[in-house]
Structure 1
Amino acid sequence: MHAQQLSAAGPAFPTGFIPLAGTREDCDACARGERLGFQFTYAYQPIVDVQARAVYAHEALVRGPAGEGAMTVLSQVTEANRYRFDQACRVKAIKGASELGMAVPLSINFLPNAIYKPELCIRTTLEAARVHGFPLTNIIFEVTEGERIEDGPWFAEILREYRRLGFRTAIDDFGAGYAGMKLLADFQPDIIKIDMDIVRHVDTNRARQAIVRNLVRLCEEMGIEVIAEGIETPAERDLLRDAGIRLMQGYLFARPAFRAIAPVDAAAFGTPTP
């Protein structure tokens, strides 16, 4: 959201924008993608707790209707349909998770620059959770740090409103994007996800190890949970576990499952720690 769009009365709506009332019909239309003009669906990838040797949550990852990669969908998102796409993503992810009987938290990516008033734009999400019987406390909203946040204080306001409503918040790809420490100064999310470029080969790279150790220490002081993403080898897993990270995500544990919940092989957790 551009700062010049903000006013004492809140940000202005774009031309042609019609606020959703949050009805069952709106949820159904969003889930089918009717308002967008293109179809998409989801794959779900586990986030695991290596200490508890269990699945902690699942991240909803956008896919084409036949399992095509995310870019085949995201390339169709424009300034004109960004809001509708963001709303449809939430509804479809929640509906899919409910139909799969997901009993752990669901992490949904959202587009902060598509949000005009947090208390208004969240109505469809609240209705989708109600319709599909999905607990609000089991929804995590995550935003990639790589998306340029055009107004940091406004973004922090969005996250505060989501927390007030009972959702948890996460910053994805931390360490790779535009916001970094300034974002943490404005708002402390419940979770940060360390970018996979920092995780890759962390077991053999002293600089990456130092970054991880100090980031874990900082998050402990701020009461923020840490997820390491992109784990591909047992060596990466073990180094990160020894650094104090228990929540992990990556191909070592499971690849995204198209419209399904991926099983996690017990061997992927490694040797139990005392």
Structure 2
Amino acid sequence: MHAETYLQRFFQGAPGDVAGCVRCRGSGEYAGELRMAFQPIVDVARREVFAYEALVRGADGRSAGQVLANVGPDQMYGFDQTCRVLAIDTAQRLGMQTRLSINFLPNAVYEPATCIRLTLAAAHKVGFDPQRLIFEMTEAEKIRDPQHALSIVRDYQDRGFLTAIDDFGAGYSGLNLLAEFQPQLVKLDMALVRGIDRNRARQAIVGGVLGTCAALGVQVIAEGVETRAEYDQLRAMGVALFQGYLIARPEAEALPEPDWAALG
């Protein structure tokens, strides 16, 4: 289903301001169908699912990176909006009871208060509590206007949403991004996590990030955890929130259960 067509069908008969948002910016046609996969983020201290991250997929199984590679600049707004609505709709249909983490594209949001309308309207339509939303901003995407991105984060936080920097340590701004945005959550990039049990440099870097985040009151999520040794090392360093193949792989249109036995 094309992106704009999906939004039009989902919001068919919606009030004029919502319908206007669907048509806003004249988003280009997206030549492909989208699905949502979900992967749990677990709180090992509480032994519970902290959130599920929504991960966009092509209907043919293509990864998020492969899907994004075919989204043109003029399609970004429509693509971003479609992913949000589809994630909320699918999560509610699957009976998700915990938080829902959605990746968003800061460069696609031209005005925070306006561009959040479809998200809120979708949550209202399907009965999903918007206070359970987390918005992840990837550090790997070069932000064209940092002050504009900061206004988005502050707007979302003022609305009660949790915000997160994804892929922390892999992108453009590093600690400067953390200092400017001060989200509630930071997700360590998997490149820092990979083999951390055998790499003193990564241990030192992650230790520094953990100390900085603790001082700022920011929770740290270790993503991309694949081995028990990586998990044990990070757990010993004080990390409590984890995501990765060791715990559960993403599943299309399903809420996979964490493999608690793998964590001991």
TM over 0.5: yes
| 1:222 matched to 2:216 | yes
Percentage of identical aligned residues? 52
TM-score by length of 1: 0.85
- Contact kept in structure 2, 1:21 and 1:124, CA below 8 Å: no
Structure 1 distance, partners of 2:124, 2:19, is 13
**Counterpart among 150, 157, 176 of residue 163 in structure 1:** 157
Structure 2 residue aligned with 1:205: 199
Deviates more, 1:143-152 or 1:70-79: 70-79
Cα shift readout 1:202-256 (whole Å, capped 9, x = no counterpart) = 0011111111111111101101010001101111101101111000000000000
Structure 2 distance, partners of 1:66, 1:28, is 26
- Contact kept in structure 1, 2:34 and 2:57, CA below 8 Å: yes
Letter aligned with residue 256 of structure 1: P
- Contact kept in structure 2, 1:107 and 1:142, CA below 8 Å: yes
Structure 2 distance, partners of 1:22, 1:215, is 46
**SS of equivalent to 2:73:** coil
**Counterpart among 153, 163, 174 of residue 168 in structure 2:** 174
The gaps in structure 2 that reach 5 residues or longer are 1-13
Structure 1 distance, partners of 2:59, 2:19, is 21
**Closer, same or farther: CA 34–152 of 1 in aligned 2, 3 Å:** closer
Cα shift readout 1:76-127 (whole Å, capped 9, x = no counterpart) = 2111111000000100000000000001101100000001110101100010
Deviation at 1:38, TM superposition (A): 2.7
Cα shift readout 1:21-74 (whole Å, capped 9, x = no counterpart) = 786768999xxx996343111110011111122211111111011322223321
Structure 2 distance, partners of 1:27, 1:230, is 35
Structure 1 residue aligned with 2:238: 244
**Closer, same or farther: CA 53–113 of 1 in aligned 2, 3 Å:** same
Root mean square deviation, CA, Å: 2.3
Structure 1 residue aligned with 2:58: 64
The structure with the largest helix share of the pair is 2
Structure 1 residue aligned with 2:188: 194
The gaps in structure 1 that reach 5 residues or longer are 1-19
Structure 2 distance, partners of 1:22, 1:76, is 31
Structure 2 residue aligned with 1:147: 141
Letter aligned with residue 177 of structure 1: G
